[in-house]
C-alpha cells in the first residue's frame, strides 16, 4: 500500500439523535462511494426512537460500520468527540446523518486533508457551494451573522462556521483535544478555533458543498440557536489563555 493510500484512509463520524429513518440510507450511500470510508462510526446520543438498535443491525451487515453510544454528556459535541477519539484512521470526517450534508461532497473534504490541509470545512458560501432549495430570509440572516460574529469575536475568517460538515487530521485533533469542551455547542467552530490558537499557520481549506433539505424527521434548529452560539464565542474568547495552556500542556 502506497503512502497516499494510507493517508486516504478515513473515518466518517455520524453523531445521531432520533435518526432511525435516515441512517440506513447514509450507510448505503457512504459504502457506495468510489473511495468509501474505512470506518463509519454511528455515535448515538441515547435516542428513544431505536436508532442505536438499527445501528447495531447495520454493524452486522456492513464491515465498516461501528455502532457506539455516546459515553459522555448528552450533546452533539460529546458524540463527535467520542467518535473522533475511537476512530482508527488518519483523517476524521464529521457530517450530519439527516441528509442535509451530501455524501457526494465527502471526497472533496477527504482530498483536501490528503493534499495537506489540517482541516477542511464544507462551506455553502465557497465556490461551488449553495443550497438545494432557497432558504428563508431568517435562516440566511442567521447563517451570515454567525460568520460575521466568529470573525469579530475570534478572528476566525471562514465563510460558514455553522455548517457542521468538516474533516480534520487526527494529529491536529489530538493536539487540541485536551482543550475541547465536553458539552460544547458548535464543535466544528470550537475545533477550528483551537486549531488556529495552537498553530496560527494551520492550513484550513473551505470546500464548496450544496446543502440539502432534511430528508426525514424534524429539524433540530431552534430559536435560541444564535444566543447559544454567541455565548460559546464569548466563552472561547475569554478563556483563550487557559485554552492555550491546556493545548501546550498536552
Please give the full DSSP string across 6-67, using - where no structure is assigned: HHH-EEEEEEESS-TTTHHHHHHHHHTSSS--SEEEEEE---TTSHHHHHHHHHHH-TTEEE
Yes or no: say if 107 and 190 are a contact pair by the CB < 8 Å rule.
no
CA angle 104, 100, 87 (to 5 degrees): 70
For residues 111, 117, 122, 125, the Cα torsion angle rounded to the nearest 10 degrees is -120
The pLDDT of residue 183 is: 65
The pLDDT of residue 129 is: 81
Secondary structure letter of residue 238 according to DSSP:
H
Q: pLDDT for 148-173, tens place per residue?
A: 888 888 888 888 888 899 999 999 99
The pLDDT of residue 125 is: 85
The pLDDT of residue 151 is: 82
Domain that holds residue 46: 3-249
Q: pLDDT for 45-88, tens place per residue?
A: 999 999 999 999 999 999 999 999 999 888 899 999 999 999 99
The pLDDT of residue 215 is: 54
Give me the CATH number covering residue 208: 3.90.550.10
Q: pLDDT for 207-243, tens place per residue?
A: 999 988 655 555 555 557 778 888 889 999 999 999 9
The pLDDT of residue 114 is: 94
* CA distance to 24, 172, 184, per residue, from 5 (Å): 27, 19, 34
Yes or no: say if 77 and 48 are a contact pair by the CB < 8 Å rule.
no
Whole-structure pTM value: 0.89
Place of cell 496560527: 200
**Can you tell me the mean pLDDT for 111-127?**
94
* CA distance to 10, 19, 51, 168, 219, per residue, from 109 (Å): 10, 23, 27, 9, 24
pLDDT at 1 over 50: no
The pLDDT of residue 74 is: 86
* CA distance to 148, 190, 207, per residue, from 241 (Å): 23, 15, 30
Q: Give me the count of residues in the chain.
A: 250
**Can you tell me the mean pLDDT for 174-187?**
85
pLDDT at 39 over 60: yes
Look over the chain and give the mean of its residue pLDDT values, rounded to a whole number.
Answer: 88
Give the count of domains, the chain. Answer: 1
Considering only 21-30, 76-85, 137-146, which range has the smallest mean pLDDT?
A: 137-146
The pLDDT of residue 209 is: 93
Yes or no: say if 80 and 13 are a contact pair by the CB < 8 Å rule.
yes
The pLDDT of residue 68 is: 97
In percent, how much of the chain has pLDDT > 90?
65
> Grid coordinates in use for 168?
480534520
Amino acid at each position: 500500500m502506497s503512502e497516499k493510500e494510507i493517508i486516504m484512509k478515513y473515518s466518517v463520524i455520524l453523531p445521531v439523535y432520533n435518526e432511525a429513518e435516515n441512517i440506513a440510507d447514509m450507510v448505503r450511500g457512504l459504502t457506495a462511494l468510489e473511495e468509501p470510508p474505512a470506518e463509519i462510526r454511528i455515535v448515538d446520543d441515547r435516542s428513544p426512537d431505536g436508532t442505536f438498535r438499527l445501528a447495531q443491525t447495520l454493524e452486522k451487515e456492513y464491515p465498516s460500520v461501528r455502532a457506539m453510544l455516546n459515553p459522555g454528556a448528552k450533546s452533539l459535541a460529546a458524540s463527535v468527540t467520542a467518535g473522533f477519539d475511537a476512530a482508527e484512521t488518519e483523517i476524521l470526517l464529521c457530517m450530519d446523518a439527516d441528509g442535509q450534508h451530501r455524501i457526494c461532497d465527502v471526497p472533496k473534504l477527504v482530498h483536501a486533508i490528503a493534499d495537506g490541509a489540517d482541516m477542511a470545512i464544507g462551506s455553502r458560501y465557497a465556490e461551488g457551494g449553495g443550497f438545494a432549495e432557497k432558504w428563508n430570509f431568517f435562516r440566511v440572516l442567521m447563517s451570515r451573522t454567525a460568520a460575521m460574529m466568529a470573525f469579530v469575536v475570534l478572528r476566525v475568517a471562514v465563510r460558514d462556521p455553522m455548517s457542521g460538515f468538516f474533516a480534520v487530521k487526527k494529529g491536529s485533533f489530538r493536539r487540541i483535544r485536551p482543550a475541547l469542551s465536553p458539552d460544547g455547542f458548535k464543535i466544528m467552530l470550537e475545533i477550528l478555533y483551537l486549531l488556529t490558537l495552537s498553530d496560527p499557520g494551520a492550513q484550513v481549506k473551505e470546500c464548496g458543498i450544496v446543502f440539502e433539505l432534511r430528508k426525514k424527521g424534524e429539524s433540530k434548529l431552534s430559536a435560541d440557536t444564535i444566543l447559544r452560539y454567541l455565548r460559546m464565542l464569548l466563552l472561547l474568547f475569554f478563556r483563550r489563555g487557559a485554552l492555550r495552556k491546556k493545548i501546550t500542556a498536552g
